[in-house]
Amino acid sequence: MDINTLGLPLAVLGAVLAALLAGIGSATGVGMAGQAAAGVVTEDPGKFGKVLIMQLLPGTQGIYGLLIAFLTLSNIGVLGSPVDVSFAQGLMYLFAGSLMGFAGLISAKWQAKASVSGIQMLAKRPDQFAKAMIFPAMVETYAVLALLISILCVANIGKIAL
Q: How far apart are CA 146 and CA 22, in angstroms?
A: 11
83 binds other proteins per the rule CB under 8 A: no
Q: How far apart are CA 155 and CA 34, in angstroms?
A: 35
Question: Closest separation between CB of residue 143 and other proteins, Å?
Answer: 9
Q: Which of residues 93-112 bind other proteins (CB under 8 A)?
A: none
Position among 21, 30, 71, 112 found at the interface with other proteins (CB under 8 A): 71
Contact 119, 37 (CB under 8 A): yes
162 binds other proteins per the rule CB under 8 A: no
What distances in angstroms separate CA 50 from CA 22, 25, 26, 40, 160, one per listed residue?
A: 24, 22, 19, 10, 46
Position among 23, 25, 59, 90 found at the interface with other proteins (CB under 8 A): 59
Question: Closest separation between CB of residue 123 and other proteins, Å?
Answer: 18
Q: How far apart are CA 154 and CA 140, in angstroms?
A: 21
Size of the site for other proteins (CB under 8 A): 28
Nearer of residues 63 and 123 to other proteins, judged by Cβ: 63
Question: Closest separation between CB of residue 17 and other proteins, Å?
Answer: 18
What distances in angstroms separate CA 17 from CA 41, 47, 72, one per listed residue?
A: 35, 36, 11
Residue ranges binding other proteins (CB under 8 A): 53, 56-57, 59-60, 63-64, 66-67, 70-71, 79, 129-131, 133-134, 137-138, 140-141, 144-145, 147-148, 151-152, 155
